[in-house]
Structure formats: structure tokens, C-alpha cells
Structure 1
Amino acid sequence: MNTDTLKYLKCPVCHAEGLRRDDNAVKCVNSHAFNVARQGYIDLLLKAGKRPEGDSLAMVEARARFLASGTYAPIADLICRTAIPHLRSLSVPTPVCLDLGGGTGYYLDALRLCFKSQNITPSSILGDVSIYAARRAARILTDTLVVRMDTWQQIPLVGSSVDVGIIVFAPRNAIEIARVMRDTGRLLVVTPAEDHLAGVMKLFGVVGQESNKREHLLNSLSPYFHSVESNRLRYEVTLTRDQALDVLSMGPNARHIDIEDVRSKLHALNAIVTLVDVYLDSFAPNL
């Protein structure tokens, strides 16, 4: 954990800006304390009411295996190629990079390696609601502030603090994202296009991508951001049976399908050819 980055966090109880480390906790100036788990992440979910669960352990493990296969490496590369030129144009010695709904930390880790190759030293923050994702990300991203947070609600960050925000296949709270972004910041959002992984979804009768998903993204962000760049990334991949199973096990569909039934159907197949089909949109705040 990079304790220098704690100054960018905000108390979710009293909204005091800046937290400090105190043994196995972090505290605000009003002594509201939040646990630092042994894996190294900070839990800023409020205990009152029902706490959202996020992805299960099985979903996180499936995603980690799939991402380790390199199937989504071109997505990570496109994020890096989009973020780096913007960061190099800023006169900020230590830019702040925020990954919302960052899961296992795969994309933020790739971005950090790009930063290092360009002699850029950022303050990195990853937020996710899943305790299992937070545990894994904190073990991997030892110099990143990993925070368990509900990204649908108020983001526990100081306003106007983020230089680059990335959101990959994750929900968005446009009002809060706009609040934490600097005027010179960039928000990079990856959304699935209509043919994304269609070869797997159709084979097992799983509902595919909504055709208007990107239009919904643009409409939801337009009161606060405007588009400055858009790229569509589309390439064919051949998945093994295990990779196809992980695709179905790592996302929301995992809650609605019989994994054992899928496993038995996959047994008759050697491989599945499908498309990775995504948009990467870059947004700047409306001033």
C-alpha cells in the first residue's frame, strides 16, 4: 500500500478529506476508523444497512484465469496507448490514476507497467465492491491503494483529484465520477460491442450484449463529459474449453446458468472461435 495516496481518500461517514494510517486501520481527522485487511486493502464500505457483495470468489478466480491467458491483452494495450499521451501532456509530477470496478487489477497493472516504461510515477487507486477482488488486487498491486467501495454510491475520493480514470466492463456513477475528475482529466471507458464473445454466448443460449449499450454510455455521461476519442477493437480468438467455461463463469451470467451443464456441453468441443469486440471511449470533463 502506498500511504502517500491516502490524502486522496475521503471519509465515507463525515466526508473529511484525507485519511491517515493508524496501525491496522486508516482514520480521518474526526477519528472515524476503517479496517486495513491483512491482504492490504482498505474497506470503506459503510457497515449500516445491507452491504453489496459484488463478484463471488468463483467469479473472481475465473476472471483471473481468463485474463492470465492473454486473451484481453490487446484491450490493456489500447488503454495504455490512449492514456500515456495524455499523461505526458500534463504538468503533474505524480498523476492520480483511478480504476473503478477494477476487479483483480489486471488493467491497472498493465497501465502501471506502461507508466514505468515512460518514467511516469503515478499514484494508483483501485476500487471494487467485491471482497474477493480486493483481496487479490491488493496482493498483486502492492504499491497501489486498493479500496473496497461501492462505485454505485458516493466514491470516497477527494473532489478534482483524478487525472486518468479507467472503467472496464464495470458500472458507472456519472455524477460521482465527474466530481472526482480534474478539469484536465481523462475518463477511459471500455464497453462491449454487440458481437463481443457472441460465439460463446450463442452456443449456450446466453443473452448477448445489448445493441445500444454504448449509446446508453454516451447519454449517461453527456451531462458531465464529452467524447474526445473513440476506438473500436475487434479481433478473433480461439478459446479452449476451460477458457470458454471461465468466460461464462466470470460475469453476471454466472448467476443465471448451470455451470455443470455448460461443462458437460463443452466436453464435446475442442475449441470455440469467437470475437472480442469492444469500444474504448475517451472523455474529458465539461467545463
Structure 2
Amino acid sequence: MKKLKKIEVLRILLNDNIEILRCPVCKNTIKTINENSLVCENNHCFNISKKGYINLLKNNAKTIYDKSLFESRSKIYDEKIYENLSREIIDIVGKYSGNKDINYVLDTGCGEGYYLNQLYLEEKINKKCKLFGIDISREGISFATRHENDILWSVSDLSNLPFKNSKFDIILDILSPSNYREFTRVLNKDGVVIKVVPEEHYLKEIRSEIKENIKKYTYSNKDIINAFKDNLDIAYDKRITYKTTTSNLEDFIKMTPLTSSLSKEQINELIKSNIKTITIDLRVIVGKIKESI
């Protein structure tokens, strides 16, 4: 059987899921999928990329997340350094997708698509879940389409999600900003948000080396956690902490936005530093929509 091109797979995915999409401009229904575009009832048109994603932003967003960052991040993921987090997410999604035949799962800051792809590769998840990934970075989404899968990828803004109300069972928000107004709008009443945030010791070795060059050497997630609690009821809360070694310190340094403000000279000095281990310190929280009083 002839292998489908990425754009052909995308057209199939868009047709299969057109009922949950909405126009990010006028909020009306998407009515047509043409050869190379998506068109809404008011004729707003969005390009379908031959790389296998749909661009739902009218203007390119400025972002520090460039191609080199995603390339470095992908190399670090290949070392399985974040596998503990990946397994935790797979287990949680498996738990909350158990009662329905089909579950809709959205990653709202998917970047290069690592965590969604890990879900896709898990057979028990793949059979029960339709997977969607959005990111404001075109470079990240373009990188995500390199995976061979049936995930619908789009360049979109999490503050203006291109989906109708109450369509998703699970939202992933992994080391990414949040927009709880939009999360609760597209989440169904029994759905959950799985959020991952850094804890105080996350990448502390890198922070220590560059403390004179960044605004915040110490880190607290207190405000982030409080915002989560203000909008959702916590159903699960776990801290994942461990030390890891890497033979690829350069990519570890280049994959984090912590170093985005450093000059090339400062990056090179950091690469030459005596960092032997890296601390991974993350918190995984699951939240449900608050019950009405």
C-alpha cells in the first residue's frame, strides 16, 4: 500500500475532527477543508502545511523557542532523561481515559511533540484517545510533525483555542503557560487538566552557574500553584525528583529558556563548566473543573 504524504494524513484528520474545530477569528464553525486550506462559515481561511500541520494564527508570534532549542530538546529526550515524567503522564492519562471508548486529549504547549508522541506509542492509549497538539511556535510544531503518527498538530494560541466548547476529556499543560478560561471552556464537565510545573531545585546546577546573568536565580512555583487551585479542584498531586547525568551538556543548556538571554560567549563558558549532574525536580498536578455551589 502506498504511504500517504503528511498533508494527506492531515486532511484525513481534519475531516475526521471537523465537528470539534472552530474559527479562531470569528468563533464560527469550520465548513470546508480544501486542497491546501481550512475555511470557516465567514470565509476566514487557514493554510494547511505540506509538512503536516494547520496554521491557525493570522500573524507569526514572536517567541524565544527556535529551531535549535527544539533540536537540542529532542536530543535530550532521546537520552530518556524525562522518561520518569513521561511514564507518570501515561499512567494518569490511562487512568482518566478508562471509562470512555474515545477520549479527546489536547496538549496546549506541545513544542516538538515528545509527550503526545509517547502517548501515541502506548497501545492502550492509542486505541482510546484522539490526540491534538498546539503550540504558538511554528518551529516547534514543524518539528513535531517529524513523528510518524495520527496526531493533529496546529500552530495556535492557547489564549484562543480553535476548538468548540466542552470537547476535551484531558488537557496536558507541561512546563507551559496556562489559560484557565480557555481550559475550562474546551474541557468537558468530567475532564481533567494535567499540569507539570518546575519545583525549586529544577536544573539548579545550571541556575547556579548563571545566577549573575539571570533575573531570578531562586525559583518558586507558589503563584502558579495558587492560580491552579483558584481555577480547578486538585485530584492528584505528586513531586518527581531525581538527579541525572548527561553526556550532552551542551544540548541540555540550549534546550532550556533559562539560557535564552545569554550571549554566545556566556553559553560557551557554561558548556565548559564543571556540571556533572542535573537535578530534575517537577510537580505533577491533576485538576478537575470546580463544582458549582
| TM-score after normalising by structure 2 | 0.87
Q: Distance in 2 between matches of 1:126 and 1:19?
A: 21
Corresponding pairs, count = 276
SS in 2 for 1:140: coil
Return 5+ residue gaps in structure 2 as ranges. Answer: 1-9
- Counterpart residue type for residue 286 of structure 1: K
Q: CA deviation at 1:20?
A: 3.8
- Residues 13-47 of structure 1, C-alpha deviations (whole Å, 9 max, x = no match): 21113454210111123322100111111111123
1:37 is matched with: 49
Q: Distance in 2 between matches of 1:38 and 1:65?
A: 25
Q: Distance in 1 between matches of 2:102 and 2:240?
A: 30
User: For residues 1-287 of structure 1, what are the structure 2 equivalents within 5 Å?
Assistant: 1=10, 2-3=13-14, 4-18=16-30, 20-47=32-59, 51-53=61-63, 55-88=65-98, 90-91=99-100, 93-114=101-122, 116-117=123-124, 120-140=127-147, 142-151=149-158, 153-205=159-211, 207-208=216-217, 210-211=219-220, 213=221, 215-240=222-247, 242=248, 244-267=249-272, 269=274, 272-287=276-291
Kept in 2: contact 1:192–1:279 (CA 8 A): yes
Q: Distance in 2 between matches of 1:54 and 1:5?
A: 31
Kept in 1: contact 2:120–2:126 (CA 8 A): no
Q: CA deviation at 1:128?
A: 0.2
- Counterpart residue type for residue 68 of structure 2: A
- Counterpart residue type for residue 152 of structure 2: L
Kept in 1: contact 2:37–2:46 (CA 8 A): yes
In structure 2, the CA distance between the partners of 1:54 and 1:16, relative to structure 1 (3 Å rule), is: farther
Q: Distance in 2 between matches of 1:15 and 1:118?
A: 30
Identity of aligned residues (%): 22
Q: Distance in 2 between matches of 1:96 and 1:191?
A: 23
Q: Distance in 2 between matches of 1:101 and 1:279?
A: 17
Structure 1 window deviating more from structure 2 (23-32 vs 11-20): it is 11-20
Q: Distance in 1 between matches of 2:273 and 2:144?
A: 35
SS in 1 for 2:201: coil
Q: Distance in 2 between matches of 1:263 and 1:139?
A: 29
- Counterpart residue type for residue 16 of structure 1: N
Return 5+ residue gaps in structure 1 as ranges. Answer: none
Kept in 2: contact 1:7–1:20 (CA 8 A): no
Q: Distance in 1 between matches of 2:142 and 2:62?
A: 16
In structure 2, the CA distance between the partners of 1:266 and 1:136, relative to structure 1 (3 Å rule), is: closer
Kept in 1: contact 2:242–2:279 (CA 8 A): yes
Q: Distance in 1 between matches of 2:270 and 2:146?
A: 35
| TM-score after normalising by structure 1 | 0.89
Structure 1 vs Structure 2 CA RMSD: 2.0
In structure 2, the CA distance between the partners of 1:33 and 1:141, relative to structure 1 (3 Å rule), is: farther
- Counterpart residue type for residue 126 of structure 1: G
Kept in 1: contact 2:205–2:279 (CA 8 A): yes
